[in-house]
Amino acid sequence: MKGNKIEVRSPATLENICELAVATAEDVAQAVSKAREAQALWQQKSFAERAKVLYHFRDLMIDHQEKIADILTAETGKPRAEVYGNELFYMCDAIGFWAKNAMKYVKPEKIRPHLLKTKKVVSIYSPIGVVGIISPWNFPLVLTLGEAIPALMAGNAVVIKPSELTPLSALFGVELAQKAGFPANLIQVLVGWGETAQALIDHVDMISFTGSVETGKKVMRRAAERLIPVTLELGGKDPMIVLKDADLERAANACVWGALMNSGQVCTSIERVYVEEPVYQDFVNKIVDKVKALRQGPSEEEVELGSMTSQEQLKKVESQVEEAVRKGARILSGGRRNPNFKGLYYEPTVMVDVHHDMEIIKEETFGPIIPIMKVKDQGEALRLANNSRYGLDSSVFTRDKKNAWKIAEKIQAGSVCINDSLVNFIIPGAPMGGMKESGLGRRHGAEGIRKYCQQKTVLVDRLGLKSELSWFPLTKRKADFFRRGLKLLFRSGWKNKLFAPSQTREG
């Protein structure tokens, strides 16, 4: 029940970890005010000075990686190996990437006017101010401090509202960041429910949100009242296409990992699989064998799957599976809560005989489910893959690389992996974001830091004349001059002659 305290529980054991005070609207206003003061000083730092602090922060995370793993596994239930191989690897790599490349992405850009050669034009990027980050529970370090890194390198302050289910990773991360030398109040964490997030939107200069489509729309509506920029990474129902000439062993391995990593609680998880008829049964057999070999259990053991993190999400998974079975789907493996544990464990599940009238194919599942459909050819696979309101990630498996490129161009998704899955997210130089209802904006790449900046154009006159031709007074002589100029510059035929490349050879 909501109140002035949040109880953080272990999803693996259901035991209470701690209680935290909820940030009020007044707390949020004060935090943002303090962040503005810190940002004014931070903005004056050079990129090299900002990078130095980030590198120190990375060293501290490596030094405290065991404690980070303890915290993350306790509040998420994910396997310990995933903390090192996913969350911490991403954080360490991202820090190095943004420390090295931030200045390149936001340095002033010269723009060469195609006609007004007497003008010098430069586009510059300035920090936007205080950035608010509202994050989900599935990657409580990557999607909080990981998202804050480019914002900080751009010269902003950051206030984070983590998920009420997993606030401890962000809190400890900010503690390390302060020890690394970030100015006081430059990075803050506010614990709370949706009301805290709403208050954050009411005070910051920009919002970066990761979460569900429905909540993302609410965030955008509230931000629209203040006309502040918003980036949204929302849900996904990411398709995988397996063609008859694919390397089935690689495809099956990629599918199992891409669908079940973090118990399927990844926005870019493979959630729909379309397999051409000639290889369908072989592929299904491989998937079932590999899924049955997976180990599930507590984080401290050698396991591939831990618990799910959210009780509400577990119920959604159960509901989708039950509805699919009622409509004719068959379960080949799993399909239930794991009876060996009292926590939020759902067995990795393989389903066939599924179709697009089922929620498990239409709506985001966000759980350890692999629904597989047989298709007659790649045309049907592509049509079904695009038959979704989502468009975040996707993958296609085939030995024909030219054909793979053609399919990739036609898939309606922000990212396409050819003979691979999920790995695109951990390449910080590659823009990542969604189409359709999967979101707006991009993380990573140039846009991943420029979104945290205000772009400004500066024009400088080169000649210093007392007056310009277009300035007052406007005389009949000027009008005649402009009239003739329009014909010379823009009329078809004349334009081609005026701007055609010279046919003479110099030298």
Residue tagged active-site, from 233, 271, 304, 437: 233
User: Tokens for 241?
Assistant: 């296409």
- Quote the distance between the C-alpha of residue 370 and its chain's center: 22
Yes or no: say if 118 and 454 are a contact pair by the CB < 8 Å rule. Answer: no
User: SS3 for 83?
Assistant: helix
Strands 417-418 and 330-333: unpaired
The CA distance from 351 to 371, in Å, is: 5
User: Tokens for 50?
Assistant: 């900002």
The CA distance from 72 to 330, in Å, is: 35
Among 82, 70, 88, residue whose Cα is nearest residue 303:
82
User: Tokens for 12?
Assistant: 């693996």
Among 337, 332, 273, residue whose Cα is nearest residue 305:
337
Among 168, 201, 176, 149, residue whose Cα is nearest residue 25:
201
Among 500, 182, 235, residue whose Cα is nearest residue 362:
235
Strands 390-391 and 187-189: unpaired
- Quote the distance between the C-alpha of residue 291 and its chain's center: 27
What 8-state DSSP symbol labels residue 213? H
What are the C-alpha distances in Å from 438 to residues 272, 433, 441?
16, 8, 10
233 is catalytic: yes
What are the C-alpha distances in Å from 215 to residues 212, 225, 267, 285?
5, 16, 14, 38
What 8-state DSSP symbol labels residue 269? -
The CA distance from 429 to 250, in Å, is: 25
The CA distance from 339 to 311, in Å, is: 16
The total number of residues shown for the chain amounts to 507
Yes or no: say if 159 and 133 are a contact pair by the CB < 8 Å rule. Answer: yes
What are the C-alpha distances in Å from 360 to residues 67, 285, 286?
37, 21, 21
Residue tagged active-site, from 255, 267, 417, 453: 267
19 is catalytic: no
What are the C-alpha distances in Å from 3 to residues 19, 20, 134, 227?
11, 11, 20, 30
Among 75, 15, 1, residue whose Cα is nearest residue 341:
15
The CA distance from 287 to 372, in Å, is: 10
Yes or no: say if 83 and 72 are a contact pair by the CB < 8 Å rule. Answer: yes
Which residues are identified as catalytic?
233, 267
